[in-house]
Structure 1
């Protein structure tokens, strides 16, 4: 009797089995992403393909051909003729301090406008955001004149002012990039729980300790993502160094390609090799910070 009752109450396999949900296949999204990826890779792959071919073979067979030899002679010649070691060092001197200053100032400002309640926090955030809407080239002439009349000791600047120094490029890039990073970090910090700072305040932690020991470590993915973006922006910047630096031995690597151009004839295979060399540092940094970069971009995407 008991076995009969148990068999009646025991659910059947069909009752236990849940209906399977078919995953939606986003073919349109995949096709769009593949097309965009190919469009972004074509210039880089074409530059690499051109750089691996000698100019003589390109002139003989044409650019749209596979004939001829493939070697790294253009890269070796571009490295020595373009003076890339010196220009890479100049870019390092400009880029690293700028990124540190931008992330430091923007994180402090983002903490002030997102985690501290005071009268002008929204106003300042709007001002920082609105500053990004102004084209930097509009301020080229005023900044050049201001730096020209900003006197410095000759022990610091051989021109006696901010022109022809690394400081001018660092200051301008810091000023223009801080607003964007402040906007991103402030939104990131607003997503963090308010209980963190409230508990720290009850324990007697001051504003600086809340910022440095609690909030800033939690912003590591966002800071890594911004550091990668800022490296690309500042490293690839061509306008400000060319405007403020007149001495050729202080220009960044983006201007080293000018040394590869001839007076009457340009070797485009050599120029492609030089352009490919300049891409390598940013590619290495992105691969090293890829995990943090993706985490910083996708954090909060699943929150409803």
Structure 2
């Protein structure tokens, strides 16, 4: 069922692994290296077409200084935080309640409701672009942070519920039954028994949802028009000049925009890995 460890593989496969792994890593890192080098190039390099060579002049302080002083990047970053953080709280909270109901209670429509949550994840976003935009216009939520937050909460709740429901079903049901025998009501069972056991899953899910929402570009361009509510992913395109493409600023802004998810992942790395691997083995 599981692949053979590379140490136990045939010598030919071990040689292929040692050669192929560095090449695959280099191919994966090559675009990131190119973006990092572009972020410190001067405008002369970009005009001369020096996109992949070594920079002829280093403009680290100039490019990043211009990025923060001459562009609305800080506003875009703040907008992304105002969208991502409430979405994480709302989607995870709803998923905890829905996952508890679907994972603990047995009723006739349990699987049907669960499949409705899961099925929404398979609908292509492009199909929903026009109806979602029209709905936001009718509700007065178009071009607003609150509309984007509510939209993300609605769309992230399906995956979050799927994640939490499966996690809760792996918990020992005897603890819930014992709490009920002791006289605890359902809210007390959820808050005092189930919720503390869900902390690793909550951390993992929070990191995933934050990353999904922070990196969203499609819906940020569909539902937002003005800079007052533009997230950083969609706002990067505004860093280009009206007549001259300033790719050095766009590259520097891309690196800055990628830092918060990376920082959060490393800060919550232990909880993230524990939440994804808990229950993977038994015995």
TM range (shorter): 0.7 to 0.9
Measured at CA, do residues 46 and 77 of structure 1 come closer, stay the same or move farther in structure 2, by a change above 3 Å? same
Deviation at 1:68, TM superposition (A): 2.2
- Residue among 136, 141, 152 paired with 2:130: 141
Measured at CA, do residues 84 and 61 of structure 1 come closer, stay the same or move farther in structure 2, by a change above 3 Å? closer
* Partner residue in 2 for 1:80: 69
- Structure 2 regions of 5+ residues with no counterpart? 1-5
CA distance, structure 1, for counterparts of residue 190 and residue 268 of structure 2: 23
* Partner residue in 2 for 1:45: 33
* Partner residue in 2 for 1:208: 187
Q: TM-score if structure 2 supplies the norm length?
A: 0.88
* Partner residue in 2 for 1:99: 88
Bigger radius of gyration among the two = 1
CA distance, structure 2, for counterparts of residue 190 and residue 33 of structure 1: 37
Tell me, what secondary structure is at the counterpart of 2:91? Answer: helix
Instruction: Please tell me the root mean square deviation across aligned C-alpha atoms, in Å.
Output: 2.3
Q: Is the contact made by 2:233 and 2:257 (CA closer than 8 Å) also made in structure 1?
A: yes
- Structure 1 regions of 5+ residues with no counterpart? 1-22, 151-160
* Partner residue in 1 for 2:211: 232
Measured at CA, do residues 121 and 34 of structure 1 come closer, stay the same or move farther in structure 2, by a change above 3 Å? farther
CA distance, structure 2, for counterparts of residue 32 and residue 204 of structure 1: 60
* Partner residue in 2 for 1:13: none
Measured at CA, do residues 105 and 189 of structure 1 come closer, stay the same or move farther in structure 2, by a change above 3 Å? same
Moved more, 30-39 or 87-96: 30-39
Moved more, 213-222 or 39-48: 39-48
CA distance, structure 2, for counterparts of residue 301 and residue 29 of structure 1: 26
Q: TM-score if structure 1 supplies the norm length?
A: 0.82
Q: Is the contact made by 2:76 and 2:227 (CA closer than 8 Å) also made in structure 1?
A: no
Tell me, what secondary structure is at the counterpart of 2:54? Answer: coil
CA distance, structure 1, for counterparts of residue 232 and residue 268 of structure 2: 22
- Residue among 83, 86, 89 paired with 2:78: 89
Moved more, 41-50 or 286-295: 41-50
> Does 2:41 align with 1:62?
no
Measured at CA, do residues 104 and 31 of structure 1 come closer, stay the same or move farther in structure 2, by a change above 3 Å? farther
Deviation at 1:67, TM superposition (A): 4.8
Deviation at 1:147, TM superposition (A): 2.4
Q: Is the contact made by 1:54 and 1:69 (CA closer than 8 Å) also made in structure 2?
A: yes
